[in-house]
Amino acid sequence: MLETKKWSIEWGGRELTVEVGKLALLASASCTVQYGDTTIMATVVKSKEEREGIDYFPLSVEFEEKLYAAGKIKGSRFIKREGRPSDDAILSGRLVDRSIRPLFDDKVRNDVQVVLTALSVDCENDAAITALVAASVVLSISTIAWDGPIAGARIGRDKNGEFILNVTTTQLEQESDLDLVVAGTPEKLVMVEAASKEVPEEIMYDAMKWGCSQLQPVVEMISKIQKEIGVQKESSPNVADDVDDVDDNVEEKVRQLTKKFVSDKAEDMIFNSVKISRQERVAMVDKIKEAAKEMLTEKGFEEDEQKAGLNRIKEYVAAEITKKILNEDVRLDGRKLNQIRNLEVEIDLLPRVHGSAMFMRGDTQVLSVVTLGAPGDVQTLDTMEEDGTKRYMHHYNDAPYTYGETGWMRGPGRRAIGHGALAEKALEPVLPTEEDFPYAIRVVSEVLGANGSSSMASTCGSSLSLMAAGVPIKKPIAGIAMGLASDTDGRWKVLTDLQDVEDGKGGMDFKITGSEDGITAMQMDTKTNGLNWDIVDTTLKQAFEARKEILNTMAKTIPDPKSELSKYAPRIETLRIDPEKIGDVIGPAGKTIKKIIEETEAAIDIEQDGRVLITTNDMKAMDAAKKMISDLTKEVEVGEIYEGEVVRLEDFGAFVQILPNKDGMVHVSEIAWERTNKPGDVLNLGDKVKVKVKEIDNLGRVNLTMKELLPRPERPKRDASPRQGAGGRRDFKRSQDKKPRRGFFKKKR
Indicate whether 583 pLDDT > 80: yes
CA distance 479 to 541: 14
Question: Is 288 strand, coil or helix?
Answer: helix
Characterize 33-48 residue by residue with b for buried, 16 or more Cβ atoms within 10 angstroms of its Cβ, and e for exposed: bbbbebbbbbbbbbee
pLDDT at 380 over 90: no
Q: Can you give the pLDDT at residue 743?
A: 45
Reply yes or no on whether the pLDDT at 745 is more than 90. Answer: no
Q: pLDDT band for position 733 (50/70/90)?
A: very low
671-694 mean pLDDT: 91
CA dihedral 123, 127, 128, 129 (to 10 degrees): 100
DSSP character for 475? S
What is the arithmetic mean of pLDDT over 725-738? 48
Answer yes or no: is pLDDT of 152 > 80: yes
> Is 50 exceeded by the pLDDT of residue 732?
no
> Rounded to 5 degrees, what angle do the CA atoms 19, 23, 27 make?
110
pTM of the model: 0.85
How does the average pLDDT of the chain come out, rounded?
A: 90
CA distances from 59 to 38, 92, 673 (A): 25, 15, 93
Query: What is the pLDDT confidence band of residue 725, given thresholds at 50, 70 and 90?
Result: very low
Residue 223 has pLDDT above 90, yes or no: yes
CA angle 735, 740, 743 (to 5 degrees): 150
How confident is residue 742, by pLDDT bands cut at 50, 70 and 90? very low
Q: Report how far residue 137's alpha carbon sits from residue 405's, in angstroms, rounded to the nearest whole number.
A: 39
DSSP structural state of residue 531: B
Cis peptide before 102 (omega within 30 of 0): no
Mean pLDDT of 585-612: 91
Supply the pLDDT for residue 748: 44
Using CA atoms, how far apart are residues 10 and 39, in angstroms rounded to an integer? Answer: 16
Judge contact between 458 and 439, C-beta under 8 A: no
pLDDT-derived band at 726 (thresholds 50, 70, 90) equals: very low
Residue 438, Ramachandran bin (φ over 0: left; ψ between -120 and 50: alpha; else beta): alpha
Q: Residue 67's closest CA among 127, 133, 14?
A: 127
The stretch 118-130 carries a mean pLDDT of 94
Encode pLDDT of 88-104 as tens digits.
Answer: 999 999 999 999 999 99
Per-residue pLDDT tens for 39-78?
A: 999 999 999 998 887 878 999 999 999 999 999 898 878 8
Span 638-651, average pLDDT: 92
Which of 373-382, 519-528, 580-589, 611-620: highest mean pLDDT? Answer: 519-528
pLDDT tens, 268-301?
999 999 988 888 888 999 999 999 999 999 999 9
pLDDT of residue 504: 86
* pLDDT surpassing 70 at residue 160: yes
| Residue range 395-410: mean pLDDT, rounded | 91
- pLDDT of residue 746 exceeding 50: no
How many Cβ atoms are within 10 Å of 259's Cβ, its own excluded?
20
Q: Which of 55, 4, 47 is nearest to 28 (CA)?
A: 47
Residue 747 has a pLDDT of: 45
Question: CA nearest 165: which of 115, 121, 123, 218?
Answer: 218
Q: Side-chain half-sphere of 629: how many Cα atoms within 13 Å?
A: 32
The runs of H, that is alpha helices, within 450-608 are 454-468, 533-557, 582-586, 591-600
Residues whose CB falls within 8 Å of the CB of residue 336, separated by 6 or more in sequence, listed in order: 329
Q: What percent of the chain has pLDDT over 70?
A: 94
State the Cα–Cα distance between residues 253 and 305, nearest whole angstrom: 10
pLDDT at 744: 40
pLDDT at residue 719, as a whole number: 58
Separation CA 174–CA 171 (nearest Å):
5
Is residue 438 within 8 Å of residue 362, measured between CB atoms? no
Q: Predicted confidence band at 728 (pLDDT cuts at 50, 70, 90)?
A: very low
- pLDDT confidence band for 240 (50 / 70 / 90): very low
Binning the chain into helix, strand and coil, the percentages to the nearest 5 are: 35, 30, 35
Per residue in 495-554, pLDDT (tens digit) is 999 988 888 899 999 999 999 999 999 999 999 999 999 999 999 999 999 999 999 999
Q: Which of 392, 394, 553, 560 is nearest to 470 (CA)?
A: 560
Cα within 13 Å of Cα(9), Cβ side: 12
Closest CA to 42 of 170, 106, 124, 131: 131
**Lowest mean pLDDT: which of 244-248, 260-264, 386-390, 695-699?**
244-248
Residues 6 or more apart whose CB falls under 8 angstroms from that of 220 comprise: none
- Note the maximum CA span of the chain: 171
User: Helices 127-140 & 216-229, crossing angle to 10 degrees?
Assistant: 40
Give 720's pLDDT tier (boundaries 50, 70, 90).
low
